[in-house]
Structure 1
Amino acid sequence: MTLFEVIVLAIIEGLTEFLPVSSTGHMIIATALMGISPTPFVKLFTIAVQLGTILSVLALYYRRFFRSLAFYYKLVVAAIPASIFGFLFSDEIDGLLESPLVVGITLVIGGIILLFVDRWFNKPTIDNSDEISYGQALKIGFFQCLALIPGTSRSASTIVGGMTQNLTRKAAAEFSFFLAIPMMFGATVLKLKDHFDNGNGLSDQEINQLIIGNVIGFIVAIVAIKSFIGIVSKYGFKAFGWYRIVVGGIIIAMLLSGHSLQIL
């Protein structure tokens, strides 16, 4: 990849990872428009750049990680369902990952849901994600399983899951951020392991690109998270719903017009 491509993909990752708009869908469009080939390093980069966005959550909410062990236990409980389903249905998930059409369709469906989610769950009682029970954390974890379908958006599924458990939009979004840490860290470690197990190394240039990508992703994600919390607290999710529908429509239109899209 060129330095320009690294910067663009890092910005996209930082902007979309924690928003309910599917970072996968945006990566598909970006790589297709820039003509980036899915080399082993490119596939690694699109996953490993998540480390920067993970650090952005730690930087913004570091105080939350020193309150109690219960905080960590709830994250573990919430992470269990997706971890189990991901292991049991890995082949089926890999099959879905080969279909950009699935991404386009799920983006549109998820967008339609976001148009109405504020109306469906409009009487929240929990304004602090620390107050959720272990049972509620587990239920949110089952919603996260929906994100195993490409294009669904891990953020969207867990936020909606949180709102079904009477969390406010802000509390649901914040718990979604926290839950992303073990899932994204685990995915990055596994991708690095696969990369080296397959006999691939990293050149000095590729290491520098990973560093640059993560630094950019970190900075952009901080801005995105702060802006997102302010927007959803005041206006809700309708704008993100329409945005998803547009992005999903673009992917579907590109496929119908003969573009060859690949999921990295």
Structure 2
Amino acid sequence: MDMVLALKALILGLVEGLTEFLPISSTGHLILAGDLLNFNDERGKAFEIIIQAGAILAVCWEYRVKLIAVTRGLGQPDANRFVLNLFIAFLPAAVLGLLFAHKIKEYLFQPVPVAMAFIIGGLLILWAEKRQHVIRVESVDAMNWKDALKVGLAQTLALIPGTSRSGATIIGGLLFGMSRRTATEFSFFLAIPTLLAATFYEAFKHRDILLRSEGDLMLFVIGFVMSFVSAMFAIRALLRFISNHDFTVFAWYRIVFGIVVLVTAYSGVVDWSAN
């Protein structure tokens, strides 16, 4: 096995796992990392599908008790409401994604637009954190369908690469009256149908690439495992972090990171390729 490719697989798996559930945009980081590592060809597209599956498995495993309880309780009011809320929150991004995914990828899946989204998203987080938070919803089980719809509409912003799906849903949840833990946990749960749908869609669209990539099985295994392990770490770390902190540090990270990308792009220090 090519050790250079194995190292790239390890790095990209780590990037996916650490950034998927933090409000800093996994898509944006993967676009930039793929450019730097020159791993954004057909093999890279197939690889991204696999490592995203690792992140999905991590959140399913972390919340396996809740998911099993909901599955066993289907038909009961609490379980039915939880599933309905996830479905309602999932729909807006699913519909808009199907309608506009091609145009978004054509024009926005490039380093400079991603960097701009990083900065704008960071500024929005700073603005949101300066507002007074009136907590109305203390747990995921206390959410109603209107709460779910609002978070789902916020998630549509994440169709713009660099915005961050988790960032849009968590900050949206805070603005809509949810506690930090509620907004964060619902973002995790909403990631399951959203990322599963995106993964299956991309796998079907790129099925020929996946079939041609059977020789890269070990690379896929390395990336999948690293994504799973690092996503588990990120989920647990974020839940511990928000018990005593707000999201300001993520806002400044986004702003600084975006500025660095813009400066290196326009100064020619880094030759960012156009995807």
Alignment TM class, shorter chain as reference: over 0.9
Between 84-93 and 237-246, report the one with greater CA deviation.
Answer: 84-93
Structure 1 residues without counterparts, runs of 5 or longer? none
**Cα deviation digits, residues 197-216 of structure 1 (max 9, x gap):** 46852223x12221221111
**Equivalent of 1:49, from 44, 48, 51?**
51
Count the aligned residue pairs: 262
**Equivalent of 1:87, from 98, 112, 116?**
98
1:202-217 superposed matches below 5 A: 202-204=213-215, 206-217=216-227
Work out the CA distance in 2 between the residues paired with 1:95 and 1:59.
34
Matched, 1:222 2:225: no
Work out the CA distance in 2 between the residues paired with 1:19 and 1:256.
28
Q: Is the 8 A contact 1:107 1:248 kept in 2?
A: yes
1:105 is aligned to 116
**Equivalent of 1:241, from 251, 256, 272?**
251
Q: Give identity over the alignment, percent.
A: 36
Work out the CA distance in 2 between the residues paired with 1:263 and 1:208.
28
Change (3 A) 1:119 1:180: same
**TM-score by structure 1 length?**
0.92
Q: Is the 8 A contact 2:31 2:109 kept in 1?
A: no
Q: Is the 8 A contact 2:119 2:254 kept in 1?
A: yes
Structure 2 SS opposite 1:234: coil
1:122 is aligned to 133
Structure 2 SS opposite 1:244: helix
2:29 is aligned to 26
**TM-score by structure 2 length?**
0.89
Aligned AA (1:32): D
Q: Is the 8 A contact 1:116 1:238 kept in 2?
A: no
Work out the CA distance in 2 between the residues paired with 1:121 and 1:208.
49
Q: What's the CA shift for 1:263?
A: 6.9
Work out the CA distance in 1 between the residues paired with 2:169 and 2:208.
32
Aligned AA (1:91): H
Work out the CA distance in 2 between the residues paired with 1:57 and 1:45.
19
Work out the CA distance in 2 between the residues paired with 1:228 and 1:80.
26
2:65 is aligned to 63
Aligned AA (1:15): L
Q: What's the CA shift for 1:230?
A: 1.5
Change (3 A) 1:262 1:168: farther
**Equivalent of 2:182, from 171, 196, 207?**
171
2:76 is aligned to none
**Equivalent of 1:181, from 182, 192, 210?**
192
Work out the CA distance in 2 between the residues paired with 1:217 and 1:123.
35
1:38 is aligned to 40
Work out the CA distance in 1 between the residues paired with 2:111 and 2:165.
17
Change (3 A) 1:6 1:121: farther
Structure 2 residues without counterparts, runs of 5 or longer? 71-78
Aligned AA (1:238): T
Work out the CA distance in 1 between the residues paired with 2:225 and 2:110.
30
Q: Is the 8 A contact 1:98 1:262 kept in 2?
A: no
Work out the CA distance in 2 between the residues paired with 1:52 and 1:22.
16
